[in-house]
Chains A and B, each alone.
Chain A
Amino acid sequence: EDKVVQSPLSLVVHEGDTVTLNCSYEVTNFRSLLWYKQEKKAPTFLFMLTSSGIEKKSGRLSSILDKKELFSILNITATQTGDSAIYLCAVDFANAGGTSYGKLTFGQGTILTVHP
């Protein structure tokens, strides 16, 4: 069965700290891995990763994928209280034809709390 596991499940840090969130997966026919930030309701898209070793960056957030070891990390540097949220990792996998099944399998999420 396809599985996505995130760690840690929760994390409490102080403003200015750097955090690393982990996501490992076991899926057949991997297509892409996505990171989302969920503050109240709608998960907000952060990154989509399809190739190993290529870092994606947006401001203080960055992410990288390792398709050999089947994991991804999300880094947040110089954390701010506004970074407090649930961070979700999801994997999309392909059918035999290489196209998406249209289903994202999510991890449990990491609850990040940033104190002032």
Chain B
Amino acid sequence: KAGVTQTPRYLIKTRGQQVTLSCSPISGHRSVSWYQQTPGQGLQFLFEYFSETQRNKGNFPGRFSGRQFSNSRSEMNVSTLELGDSALYLCASSYRETNTEAFFGQGTRLTVV
């Protein structure tokens, strides 16, 4: 069974640009969550999607948005990038209906210069 796949693995962007990250969950998993990981703040929840609906959102500015497609794949978008957005962005998938075991992808390392 393939794991959670995130693309791209690494990304370098300039301040003010926008970026789109992709996450393909484990087959059969309908919930996809996104997290930002930085040395200072640790792992922080961005948002969660289930069956194409955003069910929960963390305390991040509106520049961070996402969506989920009918095949459960999810994308996350960050507009008007700031230096502080440099982080490891992790995606996790779970079946969600009966348990909360969440499995993480390898992450996308975003560097904003």
A residues contacting B by CB (< 8 A) are 31-32, 34, 36, 41-45, 48, 88, 90, 92, 100-109
Considering only residues 13-40 of chain B, those with a C-beta below 8 Å from chain A are: 31, 33, 35
How far is it, in angstroms, between the C-alpha of A92 and the C-alpha of B98 when the chains are bound?
13
Q: Least Cβ distance of A50 to chain B in Å?
A: 9
Interface size on B, residues (CB 8 A): 27
Q: Is the CB of A101 within 8 A of B56?
A: yes
How far is it, in angstroms, between the C-alpha of A47 and the C-alpha of B31 when the chains are bound?
19
Please count the residue pairs between chain A and chain B whose beta carbons lie under 8 angstroms apart in the complex. Answer: 65
Chain B residues with CB below 8 A from A102, complex form: 31, 33, 48, 50, 55-56, 96
Q: Is the CB of B102 within 8 A of A101?
A: no
Closest residue of chain A to B100 (Cβ to Cβ) is: A92
Name the residue among B44, B58, B103 with the largest chain A CB count within 10 angstroms.
B103
Q: Which one of A48, A107, A108, A109 lies within 8 Å of B100 (CB-CB)?
A: A48
